[in-house]
Structure 1
Amino acid sequence: MRTSIATVSLSGSLTEKLTAAARAGFDGVEIFENDLLASPLTPEEIRARCADLGLTIDLYQPMRDVEAVPAEEFARTLRRARHKFALMRRLGADTVLVCSSVSPLAVDDDALAAEQLAALAGLAQESGIRVAYEALAWGRHVSTYDHAWRIVEAAGHPALGTCLDSFHILSRTSDPDDLDGIEVIPGEKIFFLQLADAPRLAMDVLQWSRHHRCFPGQGGFDVAGLVRRVLRTGYTGPLSLEVFNDVFRQSDAGATAVDAQRSLRVLKEQVGLTAPSAPVVPTGVAFAELVTPDAEPVAALLGALGFARTARHRGKPVDLWQRGEARVLVNTGPAARRDGTRLAAVGLETPDPAGAARRAEALLAPVLPRRRAPEDAPLEAVAAPDGTELFFCAAPGEGRPDWRSDFAGTGAAPADGGGCRIDHLALTQPWHHFDEAALFHRSVLGLSPQQAVDVADPYGLLRSRAVTNDDGTVRIVLTVGAAPTDDTAPAQHIALATDDVVAAARRFRAAGGSLLPIPANYYDDLAARYEFAEGELETYRDLGILYDRDAHGAFRHCYTHTVGRVFFELLQRDGGYRGYGAPNASVRLAAQHAARGFTGG
């Protein structure tokens, strides 16, 4: 089935939008009227440009406030329509979107609405154009898809059909039974299908629509369920994205178009239009790779955390540090000269590295070239939306080449683990990639997104969302700041789980490490909220350990100071605790600002 995207979904000039849509693999576009009005190109030049790019113009939109209006107002509408239909012939577009009226002149009269829409369709038919009538969720008298269809059916004109829009439908209901009427509509009378997702928000539907739509799979709507119903009618038109989003309007059009196309490829799998290719879900974290121009402070920090430098890459300036099951690579190669110390790559253990790479490439993840000596283990790598490199590594003991065979041992044994392993990785996303990152990790890696959390930072508000595999052996926390103009390099962190965080914190401090100090006021509040054993709270206060509980257990955690853009977290999960200490995040962020004036991640 063909794919299309409304130009309003992308940023830039009309030419830039068309180019981005074509490069992302779309078959067609909806031309939004404002984009055409602002373009220096003539309609004929736009038509030729689309043809050169392999794009069809599937829809011209919108015409507003057409139906159920006084006769003199409708006469003005027909005059406007003649001009627009002539323009559409020049563009080569054969379908126009008509939105249900919001005009104060409109009356609640379905018979008049049907009569006037039939007259408009008759005029359109003379120009070889079809009219797709859509119910706006905030329409004055027509605000539901089934009401719009009743008017179209009553009009009975062959050039008049309906447009179904997932936002306008799903923003008004979450009850699947309310969608039964879709399958009553003959597929040939559904002239167009527009798709958008959105987070579930309690707000005015017009503002919700204009600012918070997103691509399918990025919000809380059952877009796939709606599409399945539409397909059962026999609809054969394109799947078209119409997304109004403040972030997308300011983001690079090329990246947004790729994100949009990825969302439709996943949607096609969900509804059975393409053969499903299940994600190869990672089973563990093989390593986290830091790049740094100065290995000394990183080595000192890792040493204090109990890591030992156990191996060095045979052909690259990369050291392997290990404690228990936690492995950290320290890369001082050419890439380390940019941006200071940062978390640049993650190795993900997977039962099928080649299949994971194929899945990633099919969903438009950039495949990264890798300089590899003949004796090096084959490792496929792709880039996540934030630029983090993801390596697909064979799970240990499966008889496949092991990435660790590329390293020569230093003679040092891995440090005693104390149950140490990588619990989660926190990656701060560029402000305009948060929704894209959530969809990427869900669709490409098969990780399940958890509920988004807002965290108060002293200088703004952070959004955070974790993605995990089923057993929690892979956890990635995606965080984004609210300010697109903030050019402060965002922090990242590696969270290390231990069997005893108090003992781990004491060992770290005894080895010369410095833990992030937490204000005394936090512990006064903690004493009011929870009961602790004698001396327990004093221990937490001394070491800077924070505490949280959920329905499943308790969580204790503390933080190192930041080196470059990276800091470490030591944590202990008891009794099946599932969270990440979100109630403590604002305290941690304030402490980091106080310590270094640094925006945390």
Structure 2
Amino acid sequence: MPNQLGISSMSLGRAWAGHTMEGKLAQASAHGFLGVEIFFEDLEHIASSLSGGASTFENQIQAAKTIRGLCDKYNLAVICLQPFLFYEGLKDRNEHEQRIQKLKNWFELVKILKTDLIQIPANFLPAEAITSDIDTIVQDMAKVADMGLEQSPPVRFVYENLAWGTYVDTWEAMWDIVERVNRPNFGCCLDTFNIAGRIWADPASISGTTPDADEVLKASMDRLVKRVDVRKVFYVQVVDAERLEQPLIEGHEYYVPEQPPRMSWSRNCRLFAMETERGAYLPVIDIARVIFHQLGYEGWVSLELFSRTMADPSPTTAKKHAQRGSESWRKLKHLLNLK
């Protein structure tokens, strides 16, 4: 199928910054988006307004129904529910079982949202809390995949490497796990930010890049084309980030002692692709060309943005972000000659 444009609910401004879910979805629809990634935090925000609060599963069910109704109103598909955080490799197996119980609730939520996808980002808890043992990680992922296959209809899982992941910080590490899990409902997300942000860019460096950045990226993309089965790429996220004037180290306004620099950078400084006027500098076009042309990906393309600009309480915040995302996608399609 041709590529379909989606956006994350976070990309249109955080609900708790005064931007309602309906306002965000209305802007997404008005600017040509066909689908939206639903963040559990947005769901919780709606649930928090109900008697009993956000932690009540009944309220989460009601929130999911509300979101589904709004998506129907604005003709938007739900791409996935995310992020199912801090799951794989937990050393505390009691905590692991608690995550499993939470997942059973998520199965009910995705049915209401009318999606079959749950996204699991790579675990970024401290090393003392999670294991680097690949066998344990694979076992944990196979567990959720098998649980998903037991659902009717089956639920798929999309695994994503994070540029600041404790152990799974590259697409190669992520793909190794996908291959070893070897379940039809367990695939991955390829994210231009998390790929480039780990091996090409370094916000803590004066240059903003890693040593031999271009050569390392090219070699990685060559491996991606040879190794990745495009049928296991369940969706793609296309996003950029700004080049910082000063390295993101202690003393920088975005520096947070307990966060890796790449995580702080991600939370504050993402941009839509092609926004060079705002400082975008990642090789997004090179990565996207590989994914769409050489790998042959067709399907959902989501613009997942985290940025300090989303905290702007202005009533035009959601509209501006939707406009920027739509323009970014138009430019990318033109450059890559996408349908």
TM-score above 0.5, yes or no: yes
Residue 166 of structure 1: how far off its partner (Å): 1.2
Give the secondary-structure state (helix, strand or coil) at the position aligned to 1:63.
coil
The amino acid across from 2:160 in the alignment is: E
Select 1:224's aligned residue among 243, 265, 285.
285
Q: Report whether the alignment pairs 1:50 with 2:71.
A: yes
- Distance in 1 of aligned mates of 2:21 and 2:76: 13
Select 1:209's aligned residue among 263, 266, 272.
266
Runs of 4+ in 1 over 4 A off after TM superposition: none
The amino acid across from 1:208 in the alignment is: W
- Distance in 2 of aligned mates of 1:233 and 1:115: 28
Give the secondary-structure state (helix, strand or coil) at the position aligned to 1:180.
helix
Residue 48 of structure 1: how far off its partner (Å): 2.2
Corresponding residue for residue 179 of structure 1: 221
Corresponding residue for residue 160 of structure 1: 186
Select 2:297's aligned residue among 235, 249, 273.
235
Q: Following superposition of structure 1 onto structure 2, how do residues 271-350 of structure 1 map, counting pairs within 5 Å?
A: 271-274=336-339
1:119-168 per-residue CA deviation (whole Å, 9 max, x = no partner) reads: 11111222321111111111111111110000110111111111111111
Residue 177 of structure 1: how far off its partner (Å): 2.2
> Residue 162 of structure 1 contacts residue 192 of structure 1 at CA under 8 Å; is this kept in 2?
yes
The amino acid across from 2:320 in the alignment is: A
- Distance in 1 of aligned mates of 2:321 and 2:132: 40
- Distance in 2 of aligned mates of 1:4 and 1:87: 20
> Residue 169 of structure 2 contacts residue 198 of structure 2 at CA under 8 Å; is this kept in 1?
no
Query: Which structure is richer in relative contact order (CA contacts within 8 A, separation 6 or more)?
Result: 2
Q: Report whether the alignment pairs 1:117 with 2:141.
A: yes
> Residue 164 of structure 2 contacts residue 198 of structure 2 at CA under 8 Å; is this kept in 1?
no
Q: Following superposition of structure 1 onto structure 2, how do residues 61-100 of structure 1 map, counting pairs within 5 Å?
A: 61-70=82-91, 71-100=93-122
What TM-score does the superposition give when structure 1 sets the normalisation length? 0.44
Select 2:25's aligned residue among 18, 21, 24.
18
What TM-score does the superposition give when structure 2 sets the normalisation length? 0.77
1:33-58 per-residue CA deviation (whole Å, 9 max, x = no partner) reads: 11111125631232122122111000
- Distance in 1 of aligned mates of 2:88 and 2:120: 9
- Distance in 2 of aligned mates of 1:245 and 1:72: 34
Equivalent pairs, count:
274
Corresponding residue for residue 51 of structure 2: none
Corresponding residue for residue 52 of structure 2: none
- Distance in 2 of aligned mates of 1:59 and 1:235: 18
1:455-486 per-residue CA deviation (whole Å, 9 max, x = no partner) reads: xxxxxxxxxxxxxxxxxxxxxxxxxxxxxxxx
Corresponding residue for residue 60 of structure 1: 81
- Distance in 2 of aligned mates of 1:221 and 1:132: 24
Q: Report whether the alignment pairs 1:254 with 2:254.
A: no
The amino acid across from 1:15 in the alignment is: E
Q: Report whether the alignment pairs 1:9 with 2:70.
A: no
The structure with more radius of gyration: 1
- Distance in 1 of aligned mates of 2:115 and 2:264: 29
> Residue 13 of structure 1 contacts residue 39 of structure 1 at CA under 8 Å; is this kept in 2?
no
> Residue 188 of structure 1 contacts residue 234 of structure 1 at CA under 8 Å; is this kept in 2?
no
- Distance in 1 of aligned mates of 2:243 and 2:197: 8
Q: Following superposition of structure 1 onto structure 2, how do residues 397-412 of structure 1 map, counting pairs within 5 Å?
A: none
- Distance in 1 of aligned mates of 2:223 and 2:24: 35
Give the secondary-structure state (helix, strand or coil) at the position aligned to 2:169.
coil
Select 2:170's aligned residue among 144, 159, 162.
144
Select 1:170's aligned residue among 196, 199, 222.
196
Residue 200 of structure 1: how far off its partner (Å): 2.6
Corresponding residue for residue 506 of structure 1: none
In structure 1, runs of 5+ residues without a counterpart are 275-601
Corresponding residue for residue 236 of structure 2: 193
Give the secondary-structure state (helix, strand or coil) at the position aligned to 2:178.
helix
1:231-280 per-residue CA deviation (whole Å, 9 max, x = no partner) reads: 23232221100111111331521122011111001111112204xxxxxx
- Distance in 1 of aligned mates of 2:142 and 2:291: 24
Corresponding residue for residue 124 of structure 2: 102
Corresponding residue for residue 126 of structure 1: 150
- Distance in 2 of aligned mates of 1:126 and 1:272: 40
The amino acid across from 2:290 in the alignment is: R
Give the secondary-structure state (helix, strand or coil) at the position aligned to 1:73.
helix
The amino acid across from 1:95 in the alignment is: L
Higher strand share: 1
The amino acid across from 2:243 in the alignment is: R
Percent identical:
31
Give the secondary-structure state (helix, strand or coil) at the position aligned to 2:199.
coil
> Residue 166 of structure 1 contacts residue 223 of structure 1 at CA under 8 Å; is this kept in 2?
yes
Give the secondary-structure state (helix, strand or coil) at the position aligned to 1:220.
coil
- Distance in 2 of aligned mates of 1:272 and 1:177: 24
Residue 75 of structure 1: how far off its partner (Å): 1.6
Select 1:37's aligned residue among 29, 36, 44.
44
Over aligned residue pairs, what C-alpha RMSD do you find? 1.5
Q: Following superposition of structure 1 onto structure 2, how do residues 564-575 of structure 1 map, counting pairs within 5 Å?
A: none
Give the secondary-structure state (helix, strand or coil) at the position aligned to 1:39.
helix
> Residue 10 of structure 1 contacts residue 249 of structure 1 at CA under 8 Å; is this kept in 2?
no
1:341-396 per-residue CA deviation (whole Å, 9 max, x = no partner) reads: xxxxxxxxxxxxxxxxxxxxxxxxxxxxxxxxxxxxxxxxxxxxxxxxxxxxxxxx
1:394-429 per-residue CA deviation (whole Å, 9 max, x = no partner) reads: xxxxxxxxxxxxxxxxxxxxxxxxxxxxxxxxxxxx
The amino acid across from 1:157 in the alignment is: R
> Residue 14 of structure 1 contacts residue 36 of structure 1 at CA under 8 Å; is this kept in 2?
no
